[in-house]
């Protein structure tokens, strides 16, 4: 399951993409310094978009919901099938790429996935206010793998095309239509290790 993604998107690119979708970013005092990152790992901070009043807020949240029991692991990925997210705190998690791993022993083969024809995309995600100690966090939603991911992994992240971003935040389309694998050839796959 995805436990590594990257983000090379500049704030100006976020603002322009959301403006074209008529989803204004609520302006911070100054644009945040978003360093390009090849790898974002669980428990690290990453940008997410979430609904705020009539616009979209860019927030920096920790990846992984706190475990429900003290000895448990953080919930970094959340299975989407058979669930309703109508009453959930939905968010978009922007990314340039994500990785999946294949093999039984380390080092496993590492595959990089990008969206064909687009410099970036968003994952469907959820966010949580978290505890006072750990703070706000997000998790990524998963679905059954599409034909581009299935040869490498038995699950995949729910990748949303730009035209579906507003629909995920507002749930203006059926969840089953949004939280599904993309058609064959939508993701470019490259083995990087």
What is 13-75 written as a DSSP string?
A: HHHHHHHHTT-PBPPPSS------EEEE-TTSEEEEEEEETTEEEEEEEEESBPPSSTTS--B
pLDDT in tens, 104-124: 888 899 999 999 999 999 999
Q: What percent of the chain has pLDDT over 70?
A: 96
Closest CA to 81 of 149, 1, 175: 175
**Superfamily name and number for 5-191:** SOS response associated peptidase-like (3.90.1680.10)
**What average pLDDT is seen over the chain?**
90
Residue 84 per-residue DSSP state: -
Count of beta carbons in the 10 Å neighbourhood of residue 74: 15
> Do residues 162 and 21 touch, judged by C-beta distance below 8 A?
yes
CA distance 181 to 193: 24
Give the per-residue pLDDT at 179.
96
CA distance 119 to 88: 28
């Amino acid at each position: 399951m995805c436990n590594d993604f990257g983000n090379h998107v500049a704030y100006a690119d976020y603002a322009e993409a959301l403006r074209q979708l008529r989803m204004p970013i609520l302006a911070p005092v100054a644009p945040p310094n978003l360093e390009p990152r090849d790898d974002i790992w669980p428990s690290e901070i990453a940008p997410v978009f979430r609904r705020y009043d009539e616009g979209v807020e860019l927030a920096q949240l920790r990846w992984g919901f706190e475990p429900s029991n003290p000895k448990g692991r953080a919930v970094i990925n959340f299975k989407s099938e058979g669930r309703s997210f109508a009453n959930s705190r939905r968010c978009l998690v922007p990314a340039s790429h994500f990785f999946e791993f294949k093999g039984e022993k380390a080092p496993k083969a590492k595959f990089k996935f990008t969206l064909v024809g687009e410099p970036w995309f968003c994952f469907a995600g959820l966010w949580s206010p978290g505890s006072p100690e750990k703070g706000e966090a997000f998790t990524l939603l998963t679905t059954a793998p599409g034909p581009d991911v299935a040869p490498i992994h038995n699950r995949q992240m729910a990748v949303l095309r730009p035209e579906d971003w507003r629909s995920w935040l507002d749930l203006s389309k059926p969840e089953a239509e949004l939280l599904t694998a993309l058609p064959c050839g939508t993701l470019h796959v490259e083995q990087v290790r």
